[in-house]
Structure 1
Amino acid sequence: MPSGAYTFFDPHSGDALGVERFSCAPGPAGWRYRAVGDGDGRVTDVTLDARGRPVRVEAFAHGWRVRGGAAVVDGAAAVMWVRGPADPEGGGEAVEGEAKAQAFTGRSPAFLVGTARLLGLTVGASVRVRLVGLSEPALAPMTCDQGWALTEIEEHPTPAGPLPVARYEVADLATGERGVVHLAGDVVLSAPGVELEELDGPPNFLHGAGAALA
């Protein structure tokens, strides 16, 4: 079960945005990721099923809490969520929402792993996907369209043997902004605004839905 730490930074200015300490592992439902932010109370807890769909997503940040998961609305894939104050006794109401989308996305690398596994691309393939992004700082859900392309899988030598690393090109279709994501199993090695700083234990390579974990 790998555990470690990711650092976040503004990809334009380079300003540091925080650290997320995580662990992830396969489980009865498929795969689970849990992380806590250093010093800021952020929590990200994501469970995927065997096909990469978000069975359960829970996030806490900046006094807000979002809980959600996959659903089917009018025969189409959707996600549903409840967003409200992290402390319900502090005032404010929880609000329910839904959108026809495939999954969630946000700052945590867990969402990159989840999307890659859900899409299950082969090398050279590309696809457009609609997601619900949990925007910073208030975790406000907003739909967004992304283009994902798996451009190559390259093996890197390690003391434990070759390590397959998948290279994805990811585009925000609203702005045209593009970035590159490198995944080794269920660990993000690098992505726009994300760097892997610590890793204790090898990545999980699960067989099944997607190239991110397979």
Structure 2
Amino acid sequence: MISWLRGELLKSWQQGTYNVALLNCGGIGYEVYLNRRDWEDLPKTREILELYIHMLVREKQWTLYGFIEFDDRDIFREIININGIGPQLALALQTELRGPRLIEAIINGDLVTLTKAHGIGRRTAERLSTELRSRFVNLYHTNEVYLKQEGSIQGVLNDSDLVHDIQNTLKTLGYNKLEIQRAINKLKSKSSLVENSDFDVWLREALHWLSQRIN
């Protein structure tokens, strides 16, 4: 079972509704399917890329689905476990909604938000919410009261937007995807930053960590 890949990005392309990346890992080329959001954030060709992988095995075909964030892979797995919802619909949902927003929409039964994703109709959205709500409440330690409190899913949303801004800034400064990903993961593990949503503080910490790694 392949669960993670690290390698050189040889090529990326779109084929119909599919977003594809080809990774060279130890001389072997792996073709990986991504949601469009992650695909658009891929590094330049020949740069190193890390992806968390879900491997779907069918009778005559093995298909790899890749995710930049570990949690996104877990959300994908939960979605495709629902009868009648395949990988393409799951990727469409994750293209339209970032992880925290998708979790919030499913828990709250927000059909308007869920049906914004390509191919997701009202009945499918209702089934998503019905079958995954309690599962996501347990997985992400949330409930209806918690969602309304400070530090709720909305707080996670703000953090997600902050992280995205940091990623874009570091990318503009010339850091590659792998360096940025490692810096963000390091910052997320620092207890002093858990309650701090100040962009300048996060950026300063990221640059400090990156300078230590490079020098």
TM-score range, shorter chain: under 0.3
Point out the structure with the larger strand share.
1
- Asked which structure has the greater CA Rg, the reply is 2
Q: Provide TM-score, normalisation by structure 2.
A: 0.23
